[in-house]
């Protein structure tokens, strides 16, 4: 990619180089040799060239699940409190209520992130929040970024096609938490290891600095939060214990960043209504919920939060990804659902039915239907609903495509549901 600057540009791609341009040399592109007629610069020099304000407080969030909701909750709460802020991650990039880039990688290559920080600087942002993936940590895509606050949400099985083992996956995530920077850590997680210097903990099961009491999850979330010596009653329209964790992390982050009083933060955070594609109600009658959950733990959290309802669940598993999680996903769906409809997610280069068969290997065939056509599967799910039951469609959330053999075809779970209901 290129960023225009004065009469030339900066790039991180050798094939884009022209005489006199700037080439950002990083660990992740070090194997490519730039031509001699360009100016080689590092990340620090690139920040100066782009006039990035180094006083913007940078917040990095890592974990298997909860990054997107936690990032959005911090961003929206800071804006509600009157601060200027930006955020980037799975949903794209936003600055001061405006979308500045579409969805792409959870964590972009460093030059793309610097472009976001350039815009944030021009818009006088005080804060910028980033989702930080394990791939980005392993591939040095956050090189040269100085985080003022790091947040760890949780760790569960995902990306083992890349990391090979849970231990390696945990080691990569934990490496992000090994320095002296300020940190907010979910200590209910069994995998987390972190540098305790400047660390603040949160938990529901273990003793922590940020904790919740008098919890009710029957309709939304009600709790009394204890945050850094202050106690405050808190309400949210979000559903489920997993979202209480996300909101506790967000609450702690805003408190540390702004030092506003707890009641002001509680009032601002209560306005946050969640993220598209995360426990998103796309129809009330019948009740249809769409969620991005695509790991065993993610599915467990979503379905457990809805366990008071009779459920029909439509789901699949992504192709060219960790195969060992597929039967586990099948087991979890069957544990909570009256009917399971197993279908395609993003099959990518794999044969859809072979993915489905691997999911089915973890299930008995009771009340289980397989159909690789996702639209047909959603139709079956709607037809199987009895009065007062809910259809839960998992795996793709607010994605607007389905990837098959290298081609992204337009596909939205929400749009398909509304089309079928109408």
Q: Is 14 annotated as a binding residue?
A: yes
Interstrand relation of 57-62 and 127-131 (parallel, antiparallel or unpaired): parallel
Q: Is 26 annotated as a binding residue?
A: no
Q: Is 76 annotated as a binding residue?
A: no
Q: Is 338 annotated as a binding residue?
A: no
Please spell the DSSP secondary structure of 121-167, one letter per residue. Answer: HHTT-SEEEEE--HHHHHTTTTTT---SEEEE----S--HHHH-SHH
Q: Is 345 annotated as a binding residue?
A: yes
Q: Is 67 annotated as a binding residue?
A: yes
Q: Is 64 annotated as a binding residue?
A: yes
Q: Is 258 annotated as a binding residue?
A: no
3-class secondary-structure state, position 267: helix
| Of 340, 351, 350, 346, nearest in space to 374 by CA | 346
Tokens of 108: 């972009």
Residues present in the chain in total: 422
Instruction: Please state, in angstroms and rounded to a whole number, the distance separating the CA atoms of residues 327 and 331.
Output: 6
Phi first, then psi: give them for residue 181, nearest 5 degrees: -65, 160
Q: What b/e string do you get for 174-206 counting C-beta neighbours within 10 Å, with b at 16 or more? A: bebbeeebbbbbbbebebbebeeeebbbbbbee
Q: Is 91 annotated as a binding residue?
A: no
Please spell the DSSP secondary structure of 335-353, one letter per residue. Answer: HH-SEEEE--S--BTS-HH
Q: Is 107 annotated as a binding residue?
A: yes
Instruction: Please state, in angstroms and rounded to a whole number, the distance separating the CA atoms of residues 23 and 315.
Output: 44
| Of 206, 203, 243, nearest in space to 221 by CA | 243
Neighbours of 100 (CB within 10 A): 16
Q: Is 410 annotated as a binding residue?
A: no
Q: Is 216 annotated as a binding residue?
A: no
Residues 6+ apart with CB under 8 A from 79: 85, 96, 97
Q: Is 68 annotated as a binding residue?
A: yes
87 with 56: CB under 8 angstroms?
no
Instruction: Please state, in angstroms and rounded to a whole number, the distance separating the CA atoms of residues 10 and 22.
Output: 4
Q: Is 133 annotated as a binding residue?
A: yes
Instruction: Please state, in angstroms and rounded to a whole number, the distance separating the CA atoms of residues 104 and 107.
Output: 8
390 with 312: CB under 8 angstroms?
yes
Q: Is 402 annotated as a binding residue?
A: no
Instruction: Please state, in angstroms and rounded to a whole number, the distance separating the CA atoms of residues 115 and 118.
Output: 5
Please spell the DSSP secondary structure of 336-399, one letter per residue. Answer: H-SEEEE--S--BTS-HHHHHHHHHTTS-STTEEE-S-HHHHHHHHHHHPPTT-EEEEES-TT-
Instruction: Compute the chain's Rg from CA coordinates.
Output: 22
Annotated binding site for meso-2,6-diaminopimelate: 321, 345-348, 395, 399
Annotated binding site: 14, 63-69, 106-107, 133, 139, 141, 321, 345-348, 395, 399
Annotated binding site for ATP: 63-69
């Amino acid at each position: 990619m290129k960023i225009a600057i004065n009469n030339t540009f900066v790039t991180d791609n050798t094939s884009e180089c022209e005489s006199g341009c700037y080439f950002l040399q990083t660990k992740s592109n070090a194997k490519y040799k730039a031509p001699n007629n360009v100016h080689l610069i590092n990340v620090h020099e690139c920040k100066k060239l782009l006039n990035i304000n180094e006083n913007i407080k940078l917040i990095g969030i890592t974990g298997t699940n909860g990054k997107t909701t936690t990032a959005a909750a911090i961003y929206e709460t800071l804006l509600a409190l009157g601060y200027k802020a930006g955020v980037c991650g799975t949903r794209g990039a936003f600055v001061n209520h405006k979308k500045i880039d579409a969805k792409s990688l959870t964590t972009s290559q460093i030059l793309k992130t610097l472009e976001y920080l350039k815009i944030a600087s021009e818009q006088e942002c005080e804060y910028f929040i980033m989702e930080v993936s394990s791939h980005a940590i392993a591939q040095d895509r956050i090189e040269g970024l100085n985080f003022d606050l790091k947040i760890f949400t949780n760790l569960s099985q995902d990306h083992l096609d890349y990391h090979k083992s849970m231990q390696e996956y945990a080691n990569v995530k934990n490496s992000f938490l090994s320095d002296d920077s300020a940190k907010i850590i979910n200590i209910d997680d069994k995998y987390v290891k972190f540098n305790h210097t400047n660390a603040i903990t949160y938990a529901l099961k273990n003793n922590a600095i940020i904790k919740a009491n008098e919890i009710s999850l029957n309709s939304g979330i009600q709790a009394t939060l204890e945050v850094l010596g202050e106690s405050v009653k808190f309400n949210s329209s979000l559903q489920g214990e997993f979202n209480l964790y996300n909101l506790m992390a967000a609450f702690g982050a805003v408190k540390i960043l702004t030092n506003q009083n707890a009641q002001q933060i509680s009032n601002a955070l209560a306005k946050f209504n969640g993220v598209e594609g995360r426990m998103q109600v796309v129809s009330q009658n019948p009740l249809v919920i769409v969620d991005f959950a695509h790991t065993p733990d993610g599915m467990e959290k979503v379905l457990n939060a809805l366990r008071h309802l009779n459920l029909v669940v439509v789901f699949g598993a992504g192709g060219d990804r960790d195969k060992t999680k597929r039967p586990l996903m099948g087991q979890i769906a069957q544990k909570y659902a009256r009917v399971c409809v197993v279908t395609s997610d993003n099959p990518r280069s794999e044969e859809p039915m072979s993915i489905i068969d691997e999911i089915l290997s973890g299930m008995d065939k009771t009340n289980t239907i397989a159909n690789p056509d996702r639209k047909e599967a959603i139709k079956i799910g709607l037809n199987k609903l009895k009065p007062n039951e809910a259809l839960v469609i998992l795996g793709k959330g607010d994605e607007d495509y389905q990837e098959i053999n290298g081609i992204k075809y337009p596909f939205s779970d929400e749009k398909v549901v509304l089309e079928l209901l109408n």
